[in-house]
Amino acid sequence: MSASHSRLLSTFVFLLLALLLPARARSQESPYLVTYDHYLEEPGNLEIEYFSTFGTQHGGNDFHAPWIELEYGATAWWTTEFYLDGQTTFNDSTLFTGFRWENRFRPLKREHFINPVIYVEYAKLSGADKIMKEVEGHDVASDFAEPNSLLRQETKHEMEFKLLLSSTYKGWNFAENTLAAKNLSNQPWEFGYALGASRPLQLAASSKRCNLCRQNFVAGVEMYGGLGDRHSFGLRDTSQYLAPVAAWNLPSGWTFRVSPGFGLNDNSHGFLLRWGLSYEINGFGEMVGHLFGRGR
Amino acid sequence: MKACVTAFCVSVTLIVCATVASQDAPPAAKRDKESVYGEIDKAPEKARAKRNPFEQNAEAVTAGKILFEQRCAECHGEAALGGKKAPSLRAIEVQGASPGAIFWILTNGVVRRGMPVWSKLPEPQRWQLVTYIKSLGTAPSETADDLTKKP
């Protein structure tokens, strides 16, 4: 099959899916690509998400790292999510780089000024993983300069724990995440953080059905970076990023996010462009339940 | 490729397990004998006393209807008469509650019973939803006794 046929087929499948998937869906997603707020997936809903990170590389080839997320609201207090990561390094190769399984738990029943969520993740990744979903420890841009053939030789089994704190005040969301990650192969604990602030462009909903209403757009900024490890905690030899973020929540259930990120020191990639497209399927749990003969 | 297939199988298995686990929970009404509307009574006095800034606002009713269709109808039903997952919002317990109490429920959710927190919606949108819900009135064919039996 030629490249043009392949592109045509992909476009057809994409459009078919867009038409077949249920037209009505909830969508009020945050614009963050790294930071988490305290809102979990609605119970029974499945969100299918595609994201990618394009990064410039000093002393090496630029890269494009896509990943897919399947996010499911198991209950109103538990969201589970599965990731598949990959990357293409220009003038090098394309690789599948591993998977992650994350879980977020909401310990408190009600809303408070600051709302905590506990995040637990297991990841099995190769050293060539470049999605940069989080920045931790002494992760620096030069780590990515090696060719894929060398990077992929390392396999990491990692547990990651985060405390997600988030507040909503007068339409603004403020989120603060701290993370501790442990490579299970006898590496020291590594630390990192992410901060975010965002707000919809309009707080009240329009009385007309519309895709381009200002209420459907959310804009903000996030900042994230490493905080060293157990032996050398702090900002020394870490990479740091600042990234404006924006999301467009369509009433049909689609969400489009984009975020140009800028490295704040010499250890960081100069420029990161992240973007993503997601679709939320309402009542997915119920559909699967019916397949297993429940609810009949 | 093998890793890709393994990862996909693991993801499907996890999602199926999570789905089945969440479906295993008995309906809210069976889990708890008290009325499903009991949460409304838990709204603090200060929250109940809050005034709806969109009260009697026709545009807010229209906007609230759109929001309801997008975010609430799946569980509470198109006509807000309740469904398998959530109770009727046209019961006397809801329609008789103060706008502030309904706003409080929307903001805090009823997490243990499966209703998510809706504070992700900006405050004006939550009030628009309250305005729409209150505009629906009590369903004529249902009594309060019938409604409390619904999950």
Backbone angles phi, psi at B55, to 5 degrees: -55, 135
Probe site for chain B from A24, A27, A28 (most B CB atoms < 10 A): A28
- Mean pLDDT check: name the lowest of A31-35, B77-81, B118-122, B137-141: B137-141
Which structure tokens are listed for A143?
Answer: 């780590």
pLDDT over threshold 90, residue A22: no
pLDDT over threshold 60, residue A208: yes
Q: Quote the pLDDT of residue B14.
A: 55
Alpha helices of B25-122 — where are they, by DSSP H? 28-31, 38-41, 45-48, 58-71, 73-76, 92-95, 99-108
- In chain B the domains, ranked by start, together with CATH numbers, are 34-149 (1.10.760.10)
Q: Quote the pLDDT of residue B12.
A: 55
H/E stretch holding A5: helix A3-20
Taking contacts as CB-CB distances below 8 angstroms, the residues of chain A near B17 are none
- The domain ranges of chain A are 26-291
Rounded-to-integer distance, Cα A181 and Cα B37, Å: 43
A97-156 pLDDT tens trace: 999 999 999 999 899 999 999 999 999 999 999 999 999 999 999 999 999 999 999 999
CB contact under 8 A, A207 and B122: no
CB contact under 8 A, B63 and A40: no
Q: Quote the pLDDT of residue A293.
A: 72
CB contact under 8 A, B70 and A251: yes
Burial of A227 (0-12, 13-18, 19+ CB in 10 A): buried
ipTM rounded to 2 decimals: 0.83
Q: Quote the pLDDT of residue A182.
A: 96
Do A138 and A103 touch, CB atoms closer than 8 A? no
Q: Quote the pLDDT of residue A294.
A: 63
Q: Mean per-residue pLDDT for A176-184?
A: 96
CATH number of A26-291: 2.40.160.40
Helix axes B2-24, A284-291, angle to 10 degrees: 90
Q: Mean per-residue pLDDT for A11-16?
A: 46
Do B20 and B12 touch, CB atoms closer than 8 A? no
B50-96 pLDDT tens trace: 999 999 899 999 999 999 998 999 899 999 999 888 999 999 999 99
Instruction: Give residue A91's pLDDT band: very low, low, confident or very high (50, 70, 90).
Output: very high
More confident call, A291 vs B42: B42
